Amino acid sequence: MMKHKIIFVACDSSNLSEIKKILKQTQTNKLKVIPKFGMQFFYSKNGRKFLENFKSDFWLDLKINDIPQTALSAVDSLKDLKKCKYITVHANGGLEMLKAIKKKAKSVNKNLKVLGVTILTSLDNKSLNEIGYMKSVKQLVSRQAGLIKKSGCDGIVCSALEAKIIKTKYKKLFIVTPGIRLPGDKVNDQSRVMTPNEAFRNKVSGIVMGRSLIKGNIKKNIQRLIDHLNK
């Protein structure tokens, strides 16, 4: 049963030996674990080169957000990363950018799935108000989910708090949620968080876990996650 639940491990480090340690120690035959590489690693001196020769599926979390032509060029420049299965783009880039990237992704790599990123899980209603958005987090995420669906993108990245609403509206949409913590772990810079079990109860397709897994004893943390999911 747990094999159907995708765990994306946030490989947040620019240190290659640290990344290799995370990759090795998060491997388990009890869970479907896929590494997620963000800007910190991709922009590091050895990061991109390492990913060129990566042998299994990974998620490249760059959150592309620019004018359509620049965004297209960015996606095109990734065509040598043969095992890149997921890439993220910001819904804030608008419908035309989302559609263009989805179309380009097919020509770059037939297995590449485009995930649209909604309001970041570090933001809350107060933060949005400061930026100038008058709508609430839920209203904005709902609107962005509609854009992502309309664009033909393969999935959406949103907080587990909004996932339930989106799943009700778009039953077949692939939903990934960051801001996931094991019970008792610190929230840190996240504003909208849940435990893995709470997130999966909200019908998400996959969860992103960083600090809860990669800080401290990684193997023990993986076992904590397995025990938690078995409850």
Question: Where in the sequence numbering do the catalytic residues fall?
Answer: 63
| 63 backbone φψ class: left, alpha, beta (φ>0; ψ -120 to 50) | left
Residue 107 makes CB contacts below 8 A (sequence gap 6+) with none
Question: Around Cβ 69, how many Cβ atoms within 10 Å?
Answer: 10
Are the C-beta atoms of 86 and 113 separated by less than 8 Å?
Answer: yes
**Sign of the dihedral defined by the CA atoms of residues 216, 60, 143, 146, in that order:** negative
Whole-angstrom distance, CA of residue 147 vs CA of residue 116: 9
Q: How far is CA 133 from the centre of its chain?
A: 23
- Nearest CA to 200 out of 31, 87, 40 is that of 31
Q: How far apart are the first and last CA of the chain?
A: 12
